[in-house]
Amino acid sequence: MYDVIIIGAGTAGLTAAIYTQRAGKTALLLEAKAYGGQIVNTPDIENYPGYKHISGFEFATNLYEQAKELGAELKYERALSIRDGGNERKTVVTNAGEYECKAVILATGAKNRPLGLENEQKMVGSGVSYCATCDGMFFRGREVAVVGGGNTAIEDASFLSNYCSKVYLIHRRDAFRGDAKGVKALKEKDNVEFVLNSAVTKLLGKFRLEGIEVTNKLDGSVKTIPVAGLFVAVGQQPENESFSDVVSLDEGGYIAAGEDCRTGTEGIFTAGDCRTKTVRQLTTAAADGAVAALAACKS
Ligand code: NAP
């Protein structure tokens, strides 16, 4: 029996594991893919206190090693459900087995939101990508487009502009959600063109992406932009349905919980991007991990 099982080994989950182990309790992390979560795809983190610059991969690796050295265990298994046996008795069912614990922390993060266009999923790997740092190199010297107006889109456009001959940044409004500093830096680049108040409405090409159809939302005009790659960076969506029988979800599918990371179900806590919150940042994910772990260790 573990003291705490943490579902998800992103920034929130790994921080929760560090705090659990330092409280003298045992933590098991369950992760379906790779440790680190979304941040591993960020080339350069500039806004985590104490680091002027660090890559997402290095940041995630440091966190993982810190948790491991403190004794946290990590199993690469997908958590499928939780059986709530009441106070201090929870069973987490995975694709490979069942694990008992006193408390659970849900730190499931969020996954990339698709645009929902015809052929979008078919073209993943053939021109459509959700990760500029993973796939950007394949488009060296080519023309590409990034869609979105948050920090991910801004960072992706900046990263791609270093390798690609031209980057179109397509956003559905004319105001950006991402940091003004990043937008300003992009405006100064000769090979970045802003296409604002516009939506990608069609993917062109039979087997590979050959271009995109873009519709201006203000005047309805439609134009074709020939690009070899489209990087979709329109935010994330949560994946919490498997746990909706033991915790409440809000209308967006996020786990309903406040700053205390308590779900309303005794012994089940939540941390990071998967919970209802207004600011989804590395700092807030790490803060949640600490809050949830300390609460779980006391429960
Ligand atoms: P985000 O901030 O939620 O931005 C998503 C963007 O996509 C918004 O501009 C949104 O437009 C647009 N969008 C959403 N759905 C769309 C659709 N169906 N079609 C077209 N456009 C759509 O997502 P994010 O950029 O992935 O960032 C997620 C969180 O991580 C944020 O808190 C961000 O600050 C953080 N982050 C931080 C760093 C860093 O600190 N280094 C790096 C990356 C991300 P509207 O603006 O019109 O809603």
In this prediction, residues 148-152 reach a mean pLDDT of: 95
pLDDT of residue 104: 98
Angle, alpha carbons 255-131-155 (nearest 5°):
90
Ligand 1 atom closest to Cα of residue 42: 42
Q: Which residue has the higher pLDDT, 289 or 278?
A: 289
| pLDDT band (50, 70, 90) for residue 45 | confident
pLDDT tens-place string over residues 159-213 = 999 999 999 999 999 999 999 999 999 999 999 999 999 999 999 999 999 999 9
pLDDT, position 110: 93
Q: Residue 280: CB within 6 Å of ligand 1?
A: yes
Q: Identify whether 135 is a catalytic site residue.
A: yes
Q: Is 148 in the pocket of ligand 1 (CB under 6 A)?
A: yes
Average pLDDT over residues 94-108: 98
CA–CA separation, 257 and 293 (whole Å): 14
User: Which entry of 3, 135, 156, 288 is annotated as an active-site residue?
Assistant: 135
62-84 pLDDT, tens per residue?
A: 999 999 999 999 999 999 999 99
3-state SS class at 205: coil
Q: From the CB of residue 122, how many other CB atoms can be counted at a distance below 10 Å?
A: 11
Where helices occur in the chain by DSSP H, the ranges are 11-22, 56-69, 132-135, 151-161, 180-187, 282-298
**Residue found under tokens 């803060």:** 287
Q: Whose CA is nearest to atom 7 of ligand 1?
A: 234
* CB of 38 closer than 8 Å to CB of 14: no
| Whether the Cβ atoms of residue 249 and residue 256 lie closer than 8 Å to each other | yes
Return the C-alpha torsion angle 277, 278, 281, 283, nearest 10.
-70
Enter the tokens of residue 59: 């940041």
d(CA 91, CA 200): 44
What is d(CA 261, CA 235) in angstroms, rounded to the nearest whole number? 22
The pLDDT score that the predictor gives to residue 46 is: 86
Residue 147 Cα to ligand 1 midpoint, Å, equals: 10
Q: List the one residue out of 49, 50, 13, 18 whose CA is nearest residue 29.
A: 13
Does the CB atom of residue 150 touch ligand 1 within 6 A?
yes
Catalytic-labelled residue, pool 44, 84, 131, 179: 131
Nearest CA to ligand 1 atom 22: 234
Name the residue at shortest CA distance from atom 18 of ligand 1: 115
Is the CB of 115 inside a 6 Å radius of any atom of ligand 1? yes
Neighbours of 202 (CB within 10 A): 14
Nearest CA to ligand 1 atom 13: 234
Q: Look at residue 273 in the predicted model and tell me its pLDDT.
A: 96
Our answer to whether residue 131 is catalytic in this structure is yes
Please report the atom of ligand 1 found closest to the CA of residue 112: 26
Predicted local distance difference test score (pLDDT) of residue 28:
98
Q: Is 153 in the pocket of ligand 1 (CB under 6 A)?
A: yes
pLDDT tens for each residue of 261-272: 999 999 999 999
At what angle are helices 56-69 and 11-22 packed, to 10 degrees? 20
Banded pLDDT at 292 (limits 50, 70, 90): very high
pTM of the model: 0.81
Question: Quick one: pLDDT at residue 155?
Answer: 94
Report which ligand 1 atom has the smallest distance to the Cα of 151: 25
Average pLDDT, the chain: 96
Q: Quote the pLDDT of residue 43.
A: 78
Mutate to test the pocket of ligand 1, among 158, 172, 277, 278 (most ligand atoms within 8 A of CB): 172
pLDDT for residue 299 is more than 80 = no
Confidence at residue 30, expressed as pLDDT on a 0 to 100 scale: 98
In whole angstroms, give the CA distance from residue 35 to residue 106. Answer: 15
Rounded percentage of the chain residues whose pLDDT exceeds 70: 100
Q: DSSP 3-state assignment of 292?
A: helix
Residue 151 CB less than 6 A away from ligand 1: yes
Report the relative pairing of strands 27-30 and 198-204 from DSSP bridges: unpaired
- Residue 121: other Cβ atoms inside 10 A: 11
How far apart (Å, rounded) are the C-alpha atoms in residues 209 and 120?
10
Q: Which of 100, 93, 74 is nearest to 243 (CA)?
A: 93
Ligand 1, atom 36, lies closest to the CA of: 151
Q: What is the pLDDT of residues 47-61, one digit of tens each?
A: 899 999 999 999 999
Report whether residue 182 contacts ligand 1, using a CB cutoff of 6 Å.
no
Average confidence (pLDDT) over 135-144:
95
